[in-house]
């Protein structure tokens, strides 16, 4: 708590706005934009792996939160919550910080993939800023953030060690991989749902990232403007699907685990299957540069 109090001794409305913008980089909406942009405009293989790893790290994080159950600073002292948005977005217990863990997973793996010094510097700066924002905004104590960073680093190490297994899966028949990619997340949702949160969102999206590249291998077009159009359309389509499904689907269906899983699987397919199909239809001469694994 001392770290939170120290940082908030410098608090101002300008810093509140700045750190709220920074912390939003670890929000659900930001990851939708980032993951779809990487998949549709940069590298589908990288986009798939980032999607899988970020969703898995969230799944693990939410389970650990439920096990540890530590309170957040603003729950002990409401005056520590610097912005209403930060407090409203702070779901579940404090330890470990999902923002710190997921940001290190996302930006760390992207840096490992790209192998550029400038990107490593950018990635480390973003992870540090996101982690600092959680302390300043009063939604985590230092132990929460350090725990999230440690788990993110551990997860990255495990991912790197297990990387050869990803290639070996190519020897498994495609139909079996598709079935496993849907059934494994579904089984996790039914048997090990994260306490107090929405497992259908995480695991339905995970099933989409695991199976969409198998059903329709994709690589971004060559032209930069086409890549940008594909990413922008994909992001708009997914947000529209989220909004319309929220407005039009019956509450009973949305609250049902199987219905929610199917909802987010279909929304994931909208961005990862439908958009690539439309790209090939609108630009029929555009060839797939490199199919996703």
Q: How far apart are CA 16 and CA 264, in angstroms?
A: 33
Report the alpha-carbon distance of residue 15 to residue 7 in Å, rounded.
10
- The pTM (predicted TM-score) of the whole model is 0.93
Distance of alpha carbon 126 from alpha carbon 132, whole angstroms:
10
Give the three-state DSSP class for 140: coil
| pLDDT higher than 70, residue 292 | no
Q: Is 197 helix (H, G, I), strand (E, B) or coil?
A: coil
The reported pLDDT for the residue numbered 283 is 79
How far is residue 257's CA from residue 249's CA, in Å, rounded to a whole number?
14
Residue of higher predicted confidence among 240 and 284: 240
State whether residue 270 is helix, strand or coil: helix
The two tokens of residue 93 are: 């217990």
pLDDT for 110-162, tens place per residue?
999 999 999 999 999 999 999 999 999 999 999 999 999 999 999 999 999 88
User: How many other C-beta atoms can be found within 10 angstroms of the C-beta atom of residue 31?
Assistant: 20
Q: Other C-beta atoms within 10 Å of 239: how many?
A: 16
Per this entry, what is the length of the chain? 293
State the pLDDT at residue 293.
44
Neighbour tally for 140: CB within 10 Å: 31
Q: Does residue 285 surpass a pLDDT of 70?
A: no
Per-residue pLDDT of 25-45, as tens digits, reads 999 999 999 999 999 999 999
Confidence of residue 289 (pLDDT cuts 50, 70, 90): very low
Q: Supply the mean pLDDT for the chain.
A: 93
| pLDDT computed for residue 167 by the predictor | 75
Question: What six digits make up the tokens of 268?
Answer: 């994931």
* 224 has a pLDDT exceeding 60: yes
Position 193 scores a pLDDT of 82
- Which residue in 186, 191, 192 sits closest to 262, CA to CA? 186
Cβ partners under 8 Å of residue 104, min gap 6: 127, 148, 149, 152, 153, 156
Domain boundaries, the chain: 2-282
Assess contact for 47 and 212: CB atoms under 8 A.
Answer: no
Three-state DSSP string of 200-238:
HHHHHHHHHHHHHHHHCCCCCCCCHHHHHHHHHHHHHHH
Query: Crossing angle for the helix pair 224-248 and 257-269, nearest 10 degrees?
Result: 160
> Would you state the torsion angle of the CA atoms of residues 198, 199, 205, 207, taken in this order, to the nearest 10 degrees?
-160
Res 106 pLDDT > 90? yes
Q: What is the pLDDT of residue 196?
A: 60
Distance CA 162, CA 184 (A): 18
């Amino acid at each position: 708590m001392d770290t939170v109090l120290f940082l908030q001794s410098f608090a101002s409305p300008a810093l509140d706005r700045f750190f709220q913008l920074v912390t939003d980089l670890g929000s659900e909406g930001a990851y939708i934009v980032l993951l779809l942009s990487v998949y549709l405009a940069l590298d589908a293989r990288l986009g798939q792996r980032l999607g899988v790893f970020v969703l898995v790290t969230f799944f693990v994080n939410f389970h650990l939160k439920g096990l540890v159950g530590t309170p957040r600073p603003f729950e002990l002292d409401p005056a520590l919550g610097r912005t209403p948005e930060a407090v409203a977005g702070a779901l579940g217990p404090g330890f470990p910080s999902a923002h710190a863990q997921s940001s290190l997973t996302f930006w760390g793996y992207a840096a490992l993939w790209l192998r550029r010094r400038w990107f490593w510097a950018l990635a480390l700066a973003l992870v540090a800023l996101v982690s600092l924002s959680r302390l300043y905004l009063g939604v985590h104590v230092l132990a929460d953030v350090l725990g999230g960073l440690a788990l993110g680093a551990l997860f990255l190490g495990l991912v790197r060690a297990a990387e050869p297994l990803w290639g070996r899966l190519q020897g498994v028949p495609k139909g079996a991989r598709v079935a496993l990619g849907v059934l494994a997340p579904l089984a996790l949702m039914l048997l090990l749902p994260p306490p107090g949160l929405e497992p259908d969102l995480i695991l339905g999206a995970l099933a989409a990232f695991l199976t969409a590249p198998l059903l329709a291998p994709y690589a971004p077009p060559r032209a930069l403007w086409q890549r940008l159009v594909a990413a922008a359309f994909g992001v708009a389509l997914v947000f529209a699907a989220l909004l319309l499904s929220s407005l039009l689907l019956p509450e009973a269906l949305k609250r049902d685990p199987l219905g929610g899983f199917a909802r987010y699987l279909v929304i994931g397919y909208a961005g990862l299957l439908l958009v690539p199909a439309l790209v090939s239809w609108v630009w029929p001469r555009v060839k797939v540069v490199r199919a996703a694994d």
